[in-house]
Every structure is written in C-alpha cells, then in structure tokens.
Amino acid sequence: MQIARAVLSRLVKLVVVVLIVSFLTFMLTKLLPGDLTNTLLGPEASGPAKTALQKELGLDKPILVQYWDYLSGVVTHGDLGTAYGTSNFPVKDLLFNRLPVTLELMLLAQLVSLVISVPLAMFSAYRANSLADRSITAGAFGLISLPSFAMSVFLVYVFSLQLDLFPAVGFKRLTGPEGIGANLRSVALPVAVLVAGVTAVYTRLLRSDLIATLQEDFILMARSKGLPTWHILLRHALRPSSFSLLTVFGINFGALIGGSIIVEYFFSLPGLGLLVVESFYKRDLLVVQGVVLVVAVAFVVVNFIVDALYAVLDPRVRRAGA
Amino acid sequence: MTDVLPVPEVTGAAAAEPHEPRRKSNLGVAGWLAAIWLLVVSAAALLAPVLPLDDPRITDFAVPNNASPGTAGHLLGTDNNGFDIFSRIIWGGRVSLIVAFAVLLFGMTVGGLIGLLAGFFRGKLETALMSIVDILLAFPSLVLLIALVSFLGPELRNVVLGICIVSIPAFARISRATTLTFSQREFVVAARAAGAGNGRILVREILPNVILPLLAFGLLVVAIAIVAEGSLAFLGLTSTETISWGGMINSGRRPLQEDNVAHVAMIPAVVMFLTVLAVNFLGDRFRAAFDVKDTAL
C-alpha cells in the first residue's frame, strides 16, 4: 500500500513537471518579439492578411487556450506543428528522421563508458593510492576538464589526420549499402568524444563509493571467509556502491544530449542536435521547440525511471516505500 | 563531461564541517602553474587593447589564409580568414573572463540567495523556490541554454545572461544544503536567544558560513560556464562580432577536416583545455580546503 502511494505521488509530481516544462517550451515561441505571421508572410504583408492567418493558426485565442490546443495536439496525434523554414515538413517527421542517430550515439556512449569505467573503478579502488590509481584519477580529472569540442579536434587530428583510421566527418546509415561496419566507423570518433567525458565521471564516482564500501564490515567478513578478490569486488561491493553511479547515469542523459549536439555538429551527423542548430540558424523555432520539448520530457521520464530503479537495487528503499 | 552543470546532492552532507580545522591550501607545483596560467591569460585579456597586437578583425593579405605558426610576424599563424590567431586568442580570453565574473557575481548571488532563503525559512517558501530550481534542472543544460539564447538573441550580453540563469540551480542547491546544516547549530540558537531577528541571523550568523563553500564551488561552475559559452560559440549560435575561443575552433573545423590544416582549430582547443583545467584544478583544491563534497559532478 505504502509503495503504491509513493509511486503515485511520484507520478503526480512527474506529470506536473512535464506540464510545466511543456508550457515553458510552448511559451518559447509566444514570447518572441515579432509574431509568426511576420515570419510566414514577410514584413510587408497587409494587416487583413495577417489577421486572417492569425485566425487560421489560432493565434487570436487566449494563450492558455492555445497551449491547450498545442498540448492536446501533441498528446493525441503527436502533432508538433509544421516546420516553416525552407522545408514544409511536419516537425514530428523531422524528429523521427533524426532521432535514431542521436539515440545510437547516446546508447553506444553509455554502454562503452560503463564497460570501461566499472572495471577501471574497481581496480582503482582496490589499489587505492597506488601509482596506477593516482594516474587513473589524474587522467579522469583531465578528461573532465576537456570540453567535447576540444576533444573532437584532438581526436580528429590523431585518428584521422595522423593515423587515417577513422573518417574526420560524415555519417553512414546503419541501413546503408556499406552496412554496419561503415556505420560504426563513422560514429567511432563522435562516440569516443562522448565516452571520454562520461567514463571519467563514472570512474571517479564509482571509485570513491567503492572505497567507502570496502571499509565495511561485511567486506572484512567476506575476506576472512577466504573469498577471492574478484568475487568480493563484483558480488559484494559493486551493488551497494552503485547508487550514485545510477543517479548520474540518469542525469548524464542530459549531458549526453549536450555532447551529442556538439559532436553531431562537429562531425556533421544528421541527429537531433544538428537539427536544433540548423533550425536555430533558419529561425525555425517550432522545430527548436519540438526538440526541446521531446528532449526535456524524455529526460524527466528517464530520471523518474532511475528513481524507481533504486528500489530494485536497494531492499531498504523497497521496504520504506520511498 | 563539462557540458552539464554539477548537481550537488540536496542532503545536508554537502555542507562544510566547521569543527574540522581548515587545511592550509597547499597549492603544489601544479597548483602554482594553474594559477600562473590563469593570471597570464587574464592579464593579457585585460590588456588586449594596449598590447602591440595585430587587429584581430583585419585580414593579412600578405600571407596565405591558414598560414602556419611562425609565418611572417604571425606567432601562431593565421586562420581561414587570414586573421592573426595569437591576437584572437588574447582577445578571446576577454569573453571567458566576462563569463567567469558574471557567473560569480550574478549566478552565485541569485542562486545563493534562493538557497539561503529556502534553507532558512523552510515551509512553503522553500517548496516554491526549490520547485523553480527543479524545473530549471528538468532541462538538459545545453538545451536550455540554446532555448534561452534563441529567445534572447545571440549578442554577448544575452549569452552571458543565459549562462547565468542556467548556473542558478547549482548554486541554489549548494547554498540551501549548507544553510540547512548551519541554521540548526548552537550559535544560531544562541543568537536567537539573545534576541536577534531573522535578518540579523541570516546576514551575521549564516551568510559568512555559507559564502566560503559557495565560492569554492563557484570556481567549478566558472569552468563549466566557460565551456558553455565556448559550446555556443562553437555551434555558431552567438554573435560573430564576438571573438571567442569556441568560435575560433568552429572556424578551424573545415581546415582540419577538409584541408588537413590542424593549427587553426588546435591552438584555441589547447588554450581552452588548459584554462578549464586550471580553473577546475584550483576549484578542486579550494573545495578540498572547505570540504564541499562533489557528490554528483
């Protein structure tokens, strides 16, 4: 019962946040100086033509009614409006076209980062304060201070210009004629840029939590039972040490969105990030609005799921129901 | 990754422990190098108008574009517009300097005040203030920044304002957490028993204790703010009138990827990296001195 109530109150909070976020995003285009009709008809259009168009687009209604229309359009048939830039595309279709690229980048980055950082952190924590540990910590610190656009420059310089291993720019579709190999090669450097930053954060975090866990009595107990080190690290220490990692894993989707915008622009990958930047140039704010809405809502939902995952990882949370 | 603002934990654990004797800040060799680098960059940026530099906005037609470092009076070469890179690096430092101080002056003041009031008065005020903070945090920070700049316009003033707004939640959370722990302490109770009002307690008892951890944390936010401005300029979302390291990297992108010319993008990338590294390093040291934990960087 308690659990149900806790989940329900979280859900209510989630809905409220989503509503406010969507309202703010909606207001983005409303508060702009000069209205949509100017953009669509040009500054020299006559007054009556503007009024007619305003009526057609529903711009003469009160702002809350407009918001309601927008929201119900989004919810019932995913209608995010029509891009009024050069292409008269529904924003929804643009988003669906671009989404797979960004998703591929983010998922690959998260996956590779976990695969690298978990063993690295375990090694580092087990050998705390050794030379290897201090090098790993220093390396992670350096990587955290490396902006992704600077990292992109360095990686392109080494791996494209000097070693000629990966393409410096461009994207090959997964479903393209050259198949998965070409696709992975074209995203290798962008993903590496994202991985560098994310891995550094994960390693630092997991290392310090593991060091704390390794001081606990149950670890001493396991050790005195003669269990092998890898078994203790993997089966006893990892799970109770992974809470901050889990939180940051969720929050990092936000950072990765930012990182994706940078690398998609740098490497000319046709994802959501490049779409935002291109639409920004064209002043196509309905597209910017659509992307911001989708990204922000996805981000809120991901963090909600991460919150719920605590209960799976930690029996204490499960019992308390909060 | 420096693209996201650190979100300090909301628990009181993030606060300074006043009983622990403060370690003397021992900078070490790396710390001194970092401090010297920042001093040099800042001094050069401040003095840019009086230094004997080439005009950063004038094309040198005597040398080819993308001239390599050391060519005819161009210490670091020229970029794809034939502008002198050395001079643009120094002028570009001004923007980072402006962003750094704006975040410390504006973001820290507003965020710190929100956290102070929320942590001290609790109740409905806290719920209201922290809801605003949580809403701001619901947006990925670079996305929020792009949305703000597309709304405010790409001029430097608006970009700086946008970055300050995005920095508020981090400061608010740290300040609230610190205030929470201090407002329960004996010296506050004593002050109240002596008849001090809320205003006096806030200003004379709590503020002095909150401000140091906040400042130490502020340096980390400064590093992120510098990267944020660099990101926007790199994406070409800020005014091209402004000379910025991010913008320089952007203009070096094509030479790097298409003409195999690396230095145009490489030099500003290295300068940016060293600067962010130096700020982060000093921030880390100060934070260790005041024991502000980075639970979720």
pLDDT in tens, A39-81: 666 666 667 777 777 776 667 777 788 888 778 877 777 677 7
d(CA A42, CA A36): 10
CB proximity list for A174: less than 8 A, separation 6 or greater: A100, A104, A180, A183
User: Which residues of chain B have a CB within 8 Å of the CB of A150?
Assistant: 249, 269-270, 272-273
Quote the mean pLDDT of chain A: 80
Q: Which of A208-222, B98-112, B143-157 has the highest mean pLDDT?
A: B98-112
Judged by DSSP in three states, A82 sits in strand
User: Whose CA is closest to A147, among B79, B282, B233, B294?
Assistant: B233
Question: What percentage of residues in chain A have a pLDDT greater than 70?
Answer: 84
State pLDDT tens for residues B149-206. 877 888 888 899 999 999 999 899 889 988 988 888 888 889 888 888 888 888 888 8
d(CA B258, CA B281): 35
Q: Do the Cβ atoms of A277 and B141 come within 8 Å? A: no
| Conformational region of residue B34, where left means phi above 0, alpha means psi within -120 to 50, and beta covers everything else | alpha
Indicate the pTM of the whole model: 0.83
Residue B4 in this model has a pLDDT that exceeds 50: no
Question: What percentage of residues in chain B have a pLDDT greater than 70?
Answer: 85
Better pLDDT: A113 or A18: A113
User: Which residues of chain A have a CB within 8 Å of the CB of B38?
Assistant: none
A56-77 in b/e form (b: 16+ CB < 10 A) is: ebebeeeeeebbeebeeebeee
Residue B276 in this model has a pLDDT that exceeds 80: yes
Q: How far is A228 from chain B (nearest CA, A)?
A: 30
Q: Do the Cβ atoms of B260 and A169 come within 8 Å? A: no
Q: Do the Cβ atoms of B269 and A144 come within 8 Å? A: no
A222-246 in b/e form (b: 16+ CB < 10 A) is: beeeeeeeeebbeebbbebbbbbbb
Cβ pair A263, A168 in contact under 8 A: no
**pLDDT for position B10:** 42
Q: Name beta bridge partners: A90.
A: A82
Measured between CA atoms, the residue of chain B closest to residue A161 is B260
Residue B26 in this model has a pLDDT that exceeds 70: no
**pLDDT for position B294:** 45
Q: Do the Cβ atoms of B1 and A144 come within 8 Å? A: yes
**pLDDT for position B16:** 41
Cβ pair B166, B111 in contact under 8 A: no
d(CA B241, CA B231): 16
Interface test with B, best of A14, A27, A145, A277 (most B CBs within 10 A): A145
d(CA A270, CA A171): 7
**pLDDT for position B39:** 92
d(CA A277, CA B238): 11
Tally of CB atoms within 10 A around B169: 27
CB proximity list for B66: less than 8 A, separation 6 or greater: B77, B78, B79, B80, B255, B259, B261, B263, B264
d(CA B83, CA B58): 6
Q: Do the Cβ atoms of B150 and A168 come within 8 Å? A: no
Within 13 Å and on the Cβ side, how many CA atoms surround A204?
A: 21
State pLDDT tens for residues B58-108. 777 667 776 677 677 766 777 777 777 788 888 888 999 999 999 999 999
Judged by DSSP in three states, B71 sits in strand
CB proximity list for B78: less than 8 A, separation 6 or greater: B60, B63, B65, B66, B67, B71, B84, B85
User: Which residues of chain B have a CB within 8 Å of the CB of A276?
Assistant: 143, 146
Measured between CA atoms, the residue of chain B closest to residue A249 is B296
User: Which residues of chain B have a CB within 8 Å of the CB of A160?
Assistant: 257
**pLDDT for position A3:** 66
The answer to whether ipTM exceeds 0.90 is no
Judged by DSSP in three states, A44 sits in coil
Judged by DSSP in three states, B287 sits in helix
Provide the pLDDT confidence category of residue B261 given band limits of 50, 70 and 90.
Answer: confident
Q: Do the Cβ atoms of A295 and B269 come within 8 Å? A: no
User: Which residues of chain B have a CB within 8 Å of the CB of A25?
Assistant: 147
d(CA B54, CA B68): 16
Residue A156 in this model has a pLDDT that exceeds 90: no
Structure tokens at B108: 């820290």
Provide the pLDDT confidence category of residue A109 given band limits of 50, 70 and 90.
Answer: very high
Rounded mean pLDDT of A235-261?
Answer: 83
CB proximity list for B56: less than 8 A, separation 6 or greater: B83, B84, B87, B88, B91, B243
Provide the pLDDT confidence category of residue B296 given band limits of 50, 70 and 90.
Answer: very low
